[in-house]
């Protein structure tokens, strides 16, 4: 009797020649190297993590998990210092906990990678190629795209492909398919690495080298048919250096400092002024009184618009319709919205986010001071400004896949990216955030307008 055994691992005894510690640590170090090199300045390298999955999968069943664990440890280490700044009484221990546990959570779905690849390789004539693509898509979607992990899953390797547009995504998928198919043919690791290198080189070429060259050579830009988008004339983002605003009084001082500057910008002819996230603090009657000169100016000049980051109390506030400018009582009985307040034609409209930062802003165990979490909100993060469809991603959302994917069907023409990164000073988190927002802007082929508080 002949027994046929189907496996994703070699059956020639090669696994027994190395220790389990080496077989786990080598992919971990390889993933850490990819993450370190890719973020934040060479994100076109990030898809290399996906391309290595089928090549390493046949060597050890924990290799996909180890590879992605190392990748996320390298890309999220800024959490250690950032958390210690935001929660100064917790020291480094809370930061180390967030860093290690979040990386572990992002990597856990890849424990299923070998089994998904094995199952789907028998469902198609393409065999290992189809299995590798299906396993990559499913595990990466659970890890860094779909809630619940999607509300914390940042530095997704897909962002490196997204920056090169739909062609970059297709190229990455084809590369995974080819490497999965070759894995079935038992090709050597150097051949697989060569193929992965070719794919990554083309991602760099399509997403970064050509656009950078086209910016200097307009004729090449026209030939490519991809005009490099620039922000509309008169649209400005204001960066501030307010640091941490610790009390209601500090927010009042910040508004008293910013409001005259914004009014001066409007008088100088700027049409749209974007300010950073939450710099106005709680949007209460006293805060609105400070901004009343700006509100009155827009009533006389309806073509000019201000977008101001604020904490909008949920009580007696209808976020989908906008807050009543002269409400009597907006004390936060049910928490806040992390939002942009759009000031236009003398009126204020609240543009809420969908996903605030977990733990620091969203903490349902203390709802009175928590911000609303609504990853499945039916209201898109879009608005109309100056006749253009505008999408916005507020601070933390710029790091994620889920909120940006929600913008895709709406055909936005400009992307707004306000942020408040005072707590991340001295880390690479602001640079990662900016790179992620730029990747989505490149994918949507729209300009992106930043406004950050340092």
* Domain-ending residue, one of 222, 243, 270: 222
Domain count, the chain: 2
- Answer yes or no: do 36 and 105 share one domain: yes
Q: What is the pLDDT of residues 277-315, one digit of tens each?
A: 999 999 999 999 999 999 999 999 999 999 999 999 986
Is 280 part of a structural domain of the chain?
A: yes
Question: What is the structure's pLDDT at 182?
Answer: 75
Q: Please compute the mean of the pLDDT values over residues 32-52 and round it to a whole number.
A: 93
Give the length of the chain: 454
In the predicted structure, residue 106 carries a pLDDT above the cut 60: yes
DSSP states of 75-115 as a string?
Answer: HSTHHHHHHHHHSGGGHHHHHHHHHHHHHHHHHGGGGGHHH
Per-residue confidence band for 63, with pLDDT thresholds at 50, 70 and 90: very high
Residues 240 and 130 both lie in one domain: no
Q: Is residue 96 over pLDDT 70?
A: yes
Is 355 domain-assigned? yes
Q: What is the mean pLDDT of residues 358-379?
A: 91
The whole-number average pLDDT for the span 150-172 is 91
**Mean pLDDT, residues 435-452 taken together:** 95
Residue 3 within any structural domain of the chain: no
Q: How confident is the model at residue 1 (pLDDT cuts 50, 70, 90)?
A: very low
The domain that holds 284 is classified in CATH as 3.60.110.10
**Is 106 found in the same domain as 80?**
yes
Question: Same structural domain for residues 92 and 56?
Answer: yes
* Same domain (yes/no): 289, 361: yes
Let me know whether 168 and 276 are in one domain.
no
DSSP secondary structure string for all residues of 32-53: HHHHHHHTTT-GGGTTHHHHHH
- Per-residue pLDDT at 8: 46
Range of the domain at 357: 235-325+332-452
Q: Could you say which of 222, 246, 267 is where a domain stops?
A: 222
Q: Does 202 lie in the same domain as 140?
A: yes
Give 178's pLDDT tier (boundaries 50, 70, 90).
Answer: confident
Tell whether 7 is covered by a domain: no
Instruction: Examine the domain organization and report whether 185 and 242 are in the same domain.
Output: no
245 and 158 fall within a common domain: no
Q: Which of 80-89, 121-130, 266-275, 304-313 has the lowest mean pLDDT?
A: 121-130
Residues 141 and 191 in one domain: yes
Is residue 227 one of the residues assigned to a domain? no
pLDDT at 188 over 90: no
Greatest Cα pair distance, the chain, in angstroms, is 90
Collect all residues with Cβ–Cβ distance below 8 Å to 12 and sequence separation of at least 6: none
pTM for the model stands at: 0.88
Phi first, then psi, for residue 45 (nearest 5°) are: -80, -20
SS (H, E, C) 287-341: HHHHCHHHHHHHHHCCCCEEEEEEEEECCCCCCCCCCCCCCCCCCCCCCEEEEEE
Residues 211 and 359 in one domain: no
Q: 215 and 251 in one domain? A: no
């Amino acid at each position: 009797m002949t027994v046929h055994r189907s496996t994703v691992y070699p059956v020639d005894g090669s696994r027994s020649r190395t220790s389990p510690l080496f077989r786990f640590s080598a992919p971990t170090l390889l993933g850490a190297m990819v993450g370190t090199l890719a973020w934040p300045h060479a994100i076109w390298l990030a898809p290399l993590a996906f391309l290595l999955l089928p090549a390493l999968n046949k060597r050890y069943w924990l290799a996909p998990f180890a590879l992605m664990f190392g990748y996320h440890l390298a890309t999220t280490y800024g959490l250690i210092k950032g958390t210690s700044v935001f929660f100064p009484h917790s020291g480094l221990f809370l930061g180390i906990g967030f860093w290690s546990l979040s990386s572990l959570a992002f990597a856990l779905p890849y424990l299923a990678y070998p089994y998904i690849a094995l199952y789907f390789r028998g469902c198609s004539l393409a065999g290992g190629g189809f299995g590798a693509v299906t396993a990559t898509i499913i595990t990466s979607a659970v890890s860094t795209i779909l809630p619940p992990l999607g509300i914390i899953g940042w530095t997704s390797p897909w962002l490196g492909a997204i920056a090169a547009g739909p062609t970059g995504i297709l190229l990455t998928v084809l590369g995974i398919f080819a490497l999965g198919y070759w894995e079935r043919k038992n090709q050597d690791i150097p051949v697989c690495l060569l193929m992965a290198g070719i794919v990554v080189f083309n991602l760099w070429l399509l997403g970064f080298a050509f656009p950078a060259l086209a910016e200097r050579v307009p004729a090449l830009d026209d030939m490519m048919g991809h005009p490099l988008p620039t922000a509309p004339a008169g649209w400005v983002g204001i960066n501030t250096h307010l640091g941490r605003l610790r009390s209601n009084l500090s927010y009042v001082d910040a508004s008293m400092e910013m409001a005259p500057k914004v009014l001066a910008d409007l008088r100088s002819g700027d049409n749209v002024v974007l300010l950073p996230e939450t710099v106005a603090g709680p949007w209460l009657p006293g805060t609105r009184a400070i901004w009343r000169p700006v509100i009155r100016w827009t009533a006389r000049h309806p073509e000019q618009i201000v977008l101001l980051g604020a904490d909008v109390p949920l009580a007696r506030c209808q976020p989908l319709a906008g807050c009543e400018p002269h409400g009597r009582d907006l004390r936060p009985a049910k928490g806040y919205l992390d939002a942009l307040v759009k000031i236009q034609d003398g009126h204020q409209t609240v543009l809420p986010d969908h996903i605030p930062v977990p733990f620091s802003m969203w903490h349902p165990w203390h709802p009175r001071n928590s911000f609303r979490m609504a990853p499945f909100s039916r209201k898109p993060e879009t608005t109309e400004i100056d006749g253009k469809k505008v999408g916005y991603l507020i601070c933390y959302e710029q790091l994620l896949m889920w909120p940006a994917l929600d913008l895709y069907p709406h055909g936005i023409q400009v992307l707004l990216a306000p942020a408040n990164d005072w707590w991340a000073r001295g880390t690479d988190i602001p640079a990662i955030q900016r790179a992620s927002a730029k990747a989505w802007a490149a994918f949507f082929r729209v300009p992106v307008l930043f406004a950050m508080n340092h």
